[in-house]
A and B are shown apart, each in its own frame.
Chain A
């Protein structure tokens, strides 16, 4: 069974540009999470989808970040325009049921120059 997949694995962009990260959760997992790890800091929660609905987006840093999960399948996280402080590793995780184990993707490393 395929695990959580994320694309791209690494993206290097310039400040002001746009980047879209994609996450494909494990098939059948209704719960999808986005997390971010900035160098030297904790893995920080960004938001949680249940199917296509945003259950909790309290961790989204600001309105430059937009997450979607069309049809309750894959999810995208767009950063527009990117700033230097957005650099980090963005992790996606999925679970089923909601209190179950989180299965993580390998992460998408974003470098903003």
Chain B
């Protein structure tokens, strides 16, 4: 079975502090991992995917197959990073995304 776990419902940090949003997954094969973000009054949108190995808006995420994790990190949080973040998985041969419950990031000034 495919499952994504985001243990934190809310993560509150101050501007300029480092941020790490945790994501662990359960899947027996080689998954494709994603981070989606929903800013206030905006639609859900792709932030980054592990295969592209990009840094988007200063965020990075590394797939750790040994720990089955795909944590999202940013060294210095900005107020505009405040949003709901969802980790998602797509298994080989499957087209659907499996989402976690999401983590709300709140960056205070």
Contact = CB atoms under 8 A, between A and B. Distances in A.
**A and B found bound together:** yes
B25 interface: no
B43 A3 contact: yes
Contacts of B46: 101-102
Interface stretch (B11-19, B60-68, B95-103): B95-103
Interface stretch (A10-18, A41-49, A65-73): A41-49
Give the bracket for the number of chain A residues in contact with chain B. Answer: 20 to 34
A43 B99 contact: yes
Interface string A47-62: 0100000011001000
B97 A45 contact: yes
A45 B90 CA distance: 12
Contact of A45 (B49, B98, B100): B98
Given A43-B99, A48-B95, A104-B43, 18 more contacts: A3-B43, A33-B96, A40-B101, A42-B4, A42-B99, A42-B100, A43-B44, A45-B96, A45-B97, A48-B96, A56-B95, A59-B96, A91-B44, A93-B44, A98-B95, A99-B32, A102-B46, A102-B97
Interface of A: 3-4, 31, 33, 35, 40-45, 48, 55-56, 59, 91, 93, 98-99, 101-107
12 contacts: A3-B43, A33-B96, A43-B99, A43-B102, A55-B95, A56-B96, A59-B96, A102-B97, A103-B45, A105-B43, A106-B43, A107-B43
